[in-house]
Amino acid sequence: RSELAVELGDLELANPVMPASGCFGPELAELTPVDTLGAVVTKTVFAQSRPGNRTHRITEVPGGMLNSVGIPSRGTTVFRDSGLGGYAGLGAPVVISIGGLSAQEYWQVVDELGACEHAAVEVNVSCPNLEHGGATLDTDLDAMTHVVSGVVARSTKPVLVKLSPQLHGMAAAARAAQDAGATAVTVCNSFPAMAVNANSRASELGNGTGGLSGPSVKPLALRLVWTAAQAVDIPVVGCGGIGSADDVAEFLIAGATAVQVGTATFAQPDVMPRIIGELPALTERLGAERIADLIGTLTIRS
Ligand code: DOR
C-alpha cells in the first residue's frame, strides 16, 4: 500500500487528488496524465439534455472566479455512448457526478449509467446556478435525504454527496447525508456570489448571480471541512481554493480524506500532477509515514 493511498469507504484511491466536477474537460485530459490522478470526476450529468445558462457564464474576480454555467448536459444516453463524456479509459477511477431537477431525475441517471464502468457517484445537491432561483437542494434536508437514500438504494458503488457552503447548516447537512447512506461528503460547492459592473450597472454574469471559487474561498472551505469532519464518521472530501501541495496538507489536517482541485486547473492545466508529485516530500517533511496519517490531526494553537 503506497504512502499516498487514501480510502473513501471501500474505494481505495492511489492518492487523494481529483478534479472538482466540471473542471476536467477533453482539453485538460490531453494535457494531463490522467492515470496519475486519484480519481477523475465528471461534469454533472442530468437524465435529460439541457442547454445551461445564458452567457456570460464565467468572470474573473480578485482571488478567484465566478461561474454560472447552469450545468449544460447532453443527457445520459449521449454521455454513456461517448464513453462517459470522454472520461472512461483514461486510467483513473471515474466518479460520475449526477444531477436532477427532481428526485426521479437523479434516480434515472443512476439507473441508466449503473452498468457503465465507474468507481463511485457524486450526488450534486448544491449547484448554486439552477433555474429555481439559487436555492440548493441541501437547504431542505428532507428533500436531500429523499434523493440521496434513493441513489444509495439504486447504486452498487460508493456514493459521495457534494454539499453547499452553508456554515450554520453544514453539520446538519453532513449528518443527514451520512444517515441517508452516503459513503462520503464533498465540502463544498462554489459560494453564492455576484459581480457588478458599475459602468453598465449590470451584473457581470448573464444569470445575475453565480458561484465563487478559487483562493479567496480557501479559508471558508477549510472551516466547513473542519466542521463537517467533526459532525460525521464518514470521510470528507475537501474542495475550495486548493492550488498547491501545502493546500492539500491543510485540508487533510483539517479533516479531509481527499481533495478536489477546481479553479486552479483553469490557469494551470498541469496543477494536479504537479501537486501529486510533491506529496511524498511533503508527507515526509510533515513527519508522517503515510499521507493518510495527516487526516484530522489538527490541534488548536496553544
Ligand atoms: O459552481 C458550480 N457551477 N457548481 C455546480 O454545481 C454546477 C456548476 C454550473 O454548471 O453552474
Give per-residue pLDDT as tens, 52-100.
999 999 999 999 999 999 999 999 999 999 999 889 989 999 999 999 9
From the alpha carbon of 162, which atom of ligand 1 is closest?
Answer: 6
268's grid cell: 494551470
Instruction: Locate all alpha helices (DSSP H) within 32-187, ordered by sequence.
Output: 75-81, 103-113, 141-154, 170-179
| Residue 299 domain flag | no
Ligand 1: centre distance to CA 293 (Å): 32
pLDDT given at position 1: 61
- Which of 42, 209, 197, 40 lies closest to 134, judged by CA? 209
Q: Does residue 217 fall inside a structural domain?
A: yes
pTM summary value: 0.97
CATH number (domain holding residue 82): 3.20.20.70
**What is the domain extent for residue 149?**
6-294
CA–centroid distance, 127 to ligand 1, in Å, is 5
pLDDT digits (tens, 9 = 90+) for 206-250: 999 999 999 999 999 999 999 999 999 999 999 999 999 999 999
> What is the residue with the minimal CA distance to atom 5 of ligand 1?
127
> Each residue of 198-214: pLDDT tens digit?
999 999 999 999 999 99
Query: Ligand 1: which of 45, 65, 71 to mutate, most ligand atoms within 8 Å of CB?
Result: 71
For residue 169, tell me if it sits in a domain. Answer: yes
Atom of ligand 1 nearest to the CA of 211: 1
Is 127 among the catalytic positions?
Answer: yes
Residue 15 Cβ contacting ligand 1 at under 6 Å:
no
> Would you say the ipTM is above 0.90?
yes
Does residue 300 fall inside a structural domain?
A: no
Residue 301 lies in a domain: no
Total domains present in the chain:
1
